[in-house]
């Protein structure tokens, strides 16, 4: 694809990184040094961010390999600053297959989290919540993978969780109706987010522009997903939290 830097071909699937991700990583490193961060700490931050994107790549390959078991080809996998995209040639019309393909990405992150949990213990590190360049890399990656799994499993389009919900509903009703219900659910949740972002409620007393942005994004992304005809080429977006 244009504007991307090839990372290699794994199990016959081409992986690449969009140039904006490389700019982001170099920019992050530059800003840290400019702020007077110790060189070693800046390098650790760069390493941690790079490893986080590697975990996103594994997530995408989870989808791609699950898709392959159902005879669905993956055109390519690309990493962007907001996450990864595995372009599947189509999504199978059988709900159980869509469910497995959609859940495979977050499942990879859960597996990685379990791996990093035991790796942390084996090295004598406390696996309690800690994500920073100063904490052990295995502990940070444990929590980042848990966050990736949880965020992607949110039951709203265009997250994997939205597709999982649609597939579960499609086992009980028509695909069209299942899509409609999932879009409604996402939009109700988005309106809820917007209310929390704008009005003072317990825990979120102040105006929260980030949450409002997420609410607006979910509302329109869900509607767009609902307009997509089934069985067309689809993109999987796995966002980095
Ligand atoms: Zn995904």
Dihedral angle at the C-alpha atoms of 24, 29, 33, 35, nearest 10 degrees?
40
Determine the pLDDT at residue 147. Answer: 92
Name, of 52-56, 83-87, 154-158, the range with top average pLDDT: 52-56
At residue 238 the predicted structure's pLDDT band, cuts being 50, 70 and 90, is: low
Q: Is residue 185 part of a domain?
A: yes
Averaged confidence pLDDT in the chain = 86
Cβ proximity of 45 and 38 under 8 Å? no
Determine the pLDDT at residue 233. Answer: 40
Q: Is residue 129 part of a domain?
A: no
At residue 51 the predicted structure's pLDDT band, cuts being 50, 70 and 90, is: very high
At residue 69 the predicted structure's pLDDT band, cuts being 50, 70 and 90, is: very high
Cα 154 to averaged position of ligand 1 atoms, centre (Å): 11
Please give the tally of structural domains in the chain: 1
Q: Is residue 149 part of a domain?
A: no
Phi, psi of 135 (to 5 degrees): -80, 160
Cα 66 to averaged position of ligand 1 atoms, centre (Å): 11
Q: Is residue 213 part of a domain?
A: yes
Q: Is residue 94 part of a domain?
A: no
At residue 207 the predicted structure's pLDDT band, cuts being 50, 70 and 90, is: confident
Cα 101 to averaged position of ligand 1 atoms, centre (Å): 9
Cα 150 to averaged position of ligand 1 atoms, centre (Å): 11
Q: Is residue 179 part of a domain?
A: yes
Q: Is residue 184 part of a domain?
A: yes
pLDDT in tens, 136-151: 889 999 999 999 999 8
Overall average pLDDT of the 217-221 stretch: 83
Q: What is the pTM of this model?
A: 0.82
According to DSSP, the β-strands at 4-10 and 234-239 are unpaired
Nearest to 75 by CA among 84, 85, 66, 210: 85
At residue 237 the predicted structure's pLDDT band, cuts being 50, 70 and 90, is: low
Cα 74 to averaged position of ligand 1 atoms, centre (Å): 13
Cα 169 to averaged position of ligand 1 atoms, centre (Å): 19
Range of the domain at 193: 154-228
DSSP 240: -
Cα 160 to averaged position of ligand 1 atoms, centre (Å): 5
At residue 90 the predicted structure's pLDDT band, cuts being 50, 70 and 90, is: confident
Tell whether omega for the bond before 134 is within 30 degrees of 0, i.e. cis: no
Q: Is residue 198 part of a domain?
A: yes
| pLDDT at residue 60 is higher than 90 | yes
Overall average pLDDT of the 115-134 stretch: 85
């Amino acid at each position: 694809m244009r504007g991307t830097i090839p990372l290699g071909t794994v199990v016959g699937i081409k992986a690449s990184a969009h140039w904006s991700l490389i700019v982001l990583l170099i920019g992050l490193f530059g800003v840290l040094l400019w702020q007077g961060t110790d060189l070693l700490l800046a390098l650790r931050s760069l390493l941690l961010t790079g490893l986080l994107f590697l975990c996103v790549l594994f997530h995408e390959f989870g989808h791609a390999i699950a898709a392959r078991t159902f005879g669905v080809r993956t055109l390519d996998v690309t990493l962007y600053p907001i996450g990864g995209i595995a372009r599947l040639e189509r999504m199978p019309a059988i709900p159980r297959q869509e469910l497995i393909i959609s859940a495979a990405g977050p499942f990879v992150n859960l597996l990685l989290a379990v791996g990093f949990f035991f790796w942390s213990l084996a090295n004598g590190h406390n696996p309690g919540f800690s994500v920073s360049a100063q904490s052990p890399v295995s502990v940070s990656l444990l929590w980042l993978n848990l966050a990736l799994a949880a965020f992607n499993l949110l039951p709203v389009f265009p997250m994997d969780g939205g597709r999982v919900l649609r597939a579960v509903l499609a086992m009980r009703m028509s695909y069209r109706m299942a899509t409609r219900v999932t879009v409604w659910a996402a939009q109700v949740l988005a309106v809820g987010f917007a209310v929390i972002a704008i009005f003072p409620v317990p825990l979120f007393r102040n105006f929260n522009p980030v949450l409002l942005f997420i609410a607006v994004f979910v509302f329109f992304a869900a509607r767009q997903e609902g307009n997509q005809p089934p069985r067309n080429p689809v993109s999987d977006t796995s966002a980095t939290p």
